[in-house]
Amino acid sequence: MGFDRLWADLVPIGRDPATGGYHRHAWNAADARARAWFTDAARARDLDVRTDRNGNLWAWWGTPAPGAVATGSHLDSVPEGGAFDGPLGVVSALAAVDILRERGLRPERPLAVVVFVEEEGGRFGVPCLGSRLTAGEIDPDRVRALTDADGITWDEAMADAGLDPEALGPDPHLLRQLDAFVELHVEQGRHLAGTPHPVAAASSVWPHGRWRLDLTGRADHAGTTLLQDRADPMLPFARAVLAARESAAAHDARATVGKVRAVPNGTNAIASRVSAWLDARAADQTTLEAVVAGVRAEAERGADEHGVQLRMAQESHTPLVDFPRALRDRVAEVLARRAPEPEVPVLPTGAGHDAAVLSAHVPTAMLYVRNPTGISHSPQERADPEDCHAGVFALADVLQDFLEGPTGEVAP
């Protein structure tokens, strides 16, 4: 099917041949090649490809107008990420267009396939920037000033990619044209493993966010400085990492420190500064706040004990998202037509998505494709080919149901 050809063309772009991990980040060379791949694939299907003010790509089947339906995801990755997170939704969307055309569908509603930029935050640290900008959920000035690990700003990187960073900002007119957005995504967990179901519908997205901790001590010699004379930021940092695990476990939540920078980063030198990023997620906002408070309290105690200064600031936050019940039930009913059992799984997730950002502005739904191991954000991330094909047909069925419905009935 068309999915297999599209997938084979995209898979090599941005993949490290030694590790199998991906390094597609906003405005880097791999990102440019992936965007070119999408543009070529969309134009080969006679779709009208447009770049919006925030760098997101929109491929339109029909002229943009109120009542439109959109689908898609993202092409960027986390550092050393997997092949499926994001790209599965984009490739499946293009393949679904092929299926709809093969069925002879001539929709009265316009359909858009979208690629959102910097969903993972792998280069500039803040996730879902393309969708947040479009929805007016983040200040464009803040985005322009974000820097990567090399000190390059978003403003500079976007301009180098040939786009105008001064145009960044909300696009309410575009969002008002959408009656629905549906995103297909690889399952990031293993709820479907061991079940007969290759595809599920989404119920909700946990509230989650990222917090930056800056611990400032004093650089010194590792071999000559007495332990009692040190102001070592690594020690309260270590306590914060352990606190993240303990606080998450105590609240049945998730908390992770997966990114850290030490200065001067020398083996025989006491660090002068440690910057670390806490990712925290929970089933409700109160629990999330309790998890973060536990980490903050332990980091503060460690900083006071070791003579280190602590600054902790929130960099991003997504509140609890409950996808509209009417739209979710409609999706589940469509999935049930092909499901091996009549009761289609409806799953919550702790993972963030562009769909979650858009949900405050557009009626939104999600589909998950079975992941046999549950591994994600890793080169070991995968979905079996037959499950990917099932996902394409499921997405095509959902889109057809939306496109053929009378105007106004998609939005619950």
Between the alpha carbon of residue 358 and those of residues 4, 124, 171, 220, the distances in Å are 29, 20, 12, 48
Q: What is the pTM of this model?
A: 0.90
Evaluate whether 185 touches 365 at the Cβ level (below 8 Å).
no
Q: Is the backbone peptide bond immediately before 264 cis, with ω within 30 degrees of 0?
A: yes
> Strand order in 254-263's β-sheet?
254-263, 273-281, 208-216, 309-318
Flag residues of the chain having pLDDT under 70. Answer: 1, 406-412
81 DSSP β-pair partners: 22
Query: What are 219-274's pLDDT values in tens digits?
Result: 999 999 999 999 999 999 999 999 999 999 999 999 999 999 999 999 999 999 99
Helix (DSSP H) and strand (DSSP E) numbers for the chain? 12, 15
Between the alpha carbon of residue 401 and those of residues 69, 70, 100, 153, 204, the distances in Å are 11, 13, 11, 43, 22
Distance CA 232, CA 216 (A): 8
Task: Tell me the H-state helices in 172-233.
Answer: 172-176
pLDDT for res 406: 64
Distance CA 374, CA 383 (A): 9
| Residues 6+ positions from 142 with CB-CB distance below 8 Å | none
Task: Tell me the H-state helices in 359-384.
Answer: none
Q: Is 216 left (phi over 0), alpha (psi -120 to 50) or beta?
A: beta
Query: Which residue type sits at 89?
Result: G
Burial of 215 per CB tally in 10 Å (0-12, 13-18, 19+): buried
Distance CA 138, CA 57 (A): 19
Distance CA 101, CA 181 (A): 20
pLDDT for res 339: 87
DSSP reduced 3-state for 318? strand
Distance CA 385, CA 390 (A): 9
